[in-house]
Amino acid sequence: MTITRFAPSPTGYLHIGGLRTALYSFLWARRNNGTFRLRIEDTDTQRNNEQAMSAILEAFEWVGLSYDGEVEYQSQRLEIYKKYIQQLLDEGKAYHCYMSKEELDALRETQMANKQTPRYDGTWRPEDGKTLPEIPEGIEPVVRIKAPLEGKITFIDGVKSIMNFECSEVDDFVIARSNGMPTYNFVVTIDDALMEMTDVIRGDDHLTNTAKQIIIYEALGFNVPKFYHVPMINNPQGKKLSKRDGALDVMDYKRKGYLPEALLNFLVRLGWSNGDQEIFSMDEMLELFDPTNINKSASSYNEEKLLWLNAHYIKNVSNERLAQELKFFDCHLEGHDKKEMILDLSKERAQTLVELKEAINKILEVPTEYEAKGSKKFVKEDTIKILETYLQLLEEKKDTLHLACDYELITKPFIEEFELKFPQLFQPIRIALTGGTQAPSVYDIMAILGFEEVKKRINNAIERNFDK
C-alpha cells in the first residue's frame, strides 16, 4: 500500500511551494488507495509559531486536502527518538562527541583556509586501537552517527533518476544535540520509518539530506522509502520566489479572492503535466497524477495563468457556491430575488471573488458620485430631455418589464424613433445607475434593479446634473 505524508515545520505560514508538495503527496496516495498523513515537525521550539501551526491546518481545510488519522506532532514523540539514539549508542553505531563549539569553529576555519570542505574530523569517533581524548569537564556531548568512510550512497530518485553521494562527502553528523534534543534528519527518518512511508515527495532542497537519512535507515535496519525530489518554483525571471512574486501564505490566496479549485489546478501544473491539458478537476488529478512525470527542471510562477484559471472556475461553479463564498467578503445575496441574475451577469468579467464582489456592489449600491470623465463625454445638452422621455416610456410599460429582453423590446424602437446612437442613451443611463461607464449590459442592470429603482437612480442623476 502506498503511504505518503506532508511534514511542514510550523516556523512560518504555509506557502504555495509547501501546498504543492502536499497536493502531490495527497494525489499519489489517493490514486493508489493508500494513506496520506500529516505530521507537524515542531521539535525546534525556538522557531515554532502557534499561529503558523493553526494556519497549516486551516489551509488544509480550505483547499480540501483530507489526511488520514490524527495529526502527528514530533514534539510528542521525544521519548521514541531518545530510544533509538540510545540503541545506536549501545550498538556502537553512534558515539558521544565532546568537541566544543570553539574547537569546531577553529577546525572549520582551518579546513576552509586549506580549501577543504568543512567537516567533522572524527576526533571522538571510536575505532579499534584508537585512544580517545580525555573527556573534558563542563562539556555536554552531542551524539554523532558513525557514517561510512568509503564507497557511495546511491538511491534512485523518482524525479531525478540515479543519485550518488560519495561517503567522503558525508561526515559523522550530529543526531542529538548537547541538550538531548534530536536533530531534524534523525527525527524525520525515525518518523518516516515508523509511519511506514513508502513514498516521500518533497522539495529538492532536501536532496542533500537524503544521503544522511539513508545512513540512519540502514543503521537501524529500516526500509528505505522511494524518494521524489521536486524542483523549486521560481519567479518569472528564474529566481527564488518572493512574496512580491506570489510566495504568500496560502490563506492570503483566499483573502485575495481565489477559489481553492483554481489554486490546486494551478499548483498541479507547476511541475507536472498531462499533454497540453490545462484544466484539471480533482477527479482528473487523482486519475492522472504520477510523480515519475514531475518535471526535472524548476517551474515558473505565472500570476496571469492563475487569474485565468480562477476566472474559469468562477464562471463554472454553481451560483449557490459563489453566494456562499462571497459571504467571506461581506457580500450577502441570500433572499435577493434576483440573485441568479446578479451572479450570472457579474461573474462573466470577474477574475477573483474580490472583483466579483465589486461588480455586484457596482450594480446594487446606489452611486454616490458620477464619473467626471464619462459625464463630460456622454452627458450633452439634450441628454436630460432624452432620459426624461425614456422614463415616461418605462412608466407606461412598467407592468411588462421583468427581464432584460423586456427592456430591450421597448428600447430599440425608442432609439430608432428619436434617431439616437446607442451610446447617447445607454452611457448616461449606465452612469446614472452605476456611477461609471464600465458596467455590464444596461438591459441586464435594469432587469436586476427593477423599474422603481431605475427610475429613482436616473431621476437622482438628472437632479444632480450628473455632478457636472
Phi then psi for residue 172, to 5 deg, are -75, 85
277 pLDDT band (50/70/90 cuts)? Answer: very high
- The span from the CA of 182 to the CA of 176, in Å, is 4
pLDDT at position 343: 97
Give the SS3 label for residue 445.
helix
Convert the pLDDT of each residue in 347-390 to its tens digit: 999 999 999 999 999 999 999 999 999 999 999 999 999 999 99
> Annotation-wise, does 243 bind a ligand?
yes
* DSSP code, position 141: P
- The span from the CA of 80 to the CA of 294, in Å, is 34
pLDDT at position 72: 93
Q: Percent of the chain having pLDDT more than 70?
A: 98
Minimal CA–CA distance to 28: which of 272, 300, 205, 277? 272
pLDDT at position 168: 87
| Least confident window among 41-50, 159-168, 319-328 | 41-50
pLDDT at position 48: 67
Distance of alpha carbon 65 from the chain centroid: 12
C-alpha cell, 321: 457556491
Q: Is the pLDDT of residue 248 over 80?
A: no
DSSP string, 154-174: EEEETTTEEEEEEGGG----E
* DSSP code, position 12: S
Compute CA distances 112 → 118, 156, 418, whole Å: 6, 32, 89
CB 39 within 8 A of CB 191: yes
- 72 pairs with which residues across the strands? 39
Q: Percent of the chain having pLDDT more than 90?
A: 84
pLDDT at position 246: 64
Work out the average pLDDT over 302-328: 97
44 pLDDT band (50/70/90 cuts)? Answer: confident
pLDDT at position 380: 93
Convert the pLDDT of each residue in 446-461 to its tens digit: 999 999 999 999 999 9
Q: Is the pLDDT of residue 296 over 90?
A: yes
* Mean pLDDT value across the chain: 94
CB 448 within 8 A of CB 341: yes
Convert the pLDDT of each residue in 182-202 to its tens digit: 999 999 999 999 999 999 999
* DSSP code, position 13: P
247 pLDDT band (50/70/90 cuts)? Answer: low
Domains of the chain: 78-230 (3.40.50.620), 366-467 (1.10.10.350)
Give the SS3 label for residue 96.
strand
pLDDT at position 467: 84
- The span from the CA of 430 to the CA of 338, in Å, is 19
Please, what is the Cα angle at 228 between 223 and 232, to 5 degrees?
A: 145
* DSSP code, position 182: B
**HEC per residue, 34-89:** CEEEEEECCCCCCCCCHHHHHHHHHHHHHHCCCCCCCCEEHHHCHHHHHHHHHHHH
pLDDT at position 169: 87
Please measure the distance between the N-terminal and C-terminal CA atoms of the chain and give it in whole angstroms: 73
- The span from the CA of 154 to the CA of 363, in Å, is 64
* Global confidence as pTM: 0.91
175: which residues sit within 8 A by CB, 6+ positions away? 85, 88, 94, 143, 144, 145, 182, 183, 185, 186, 216
CB 356 within 8 A of CB 325: no
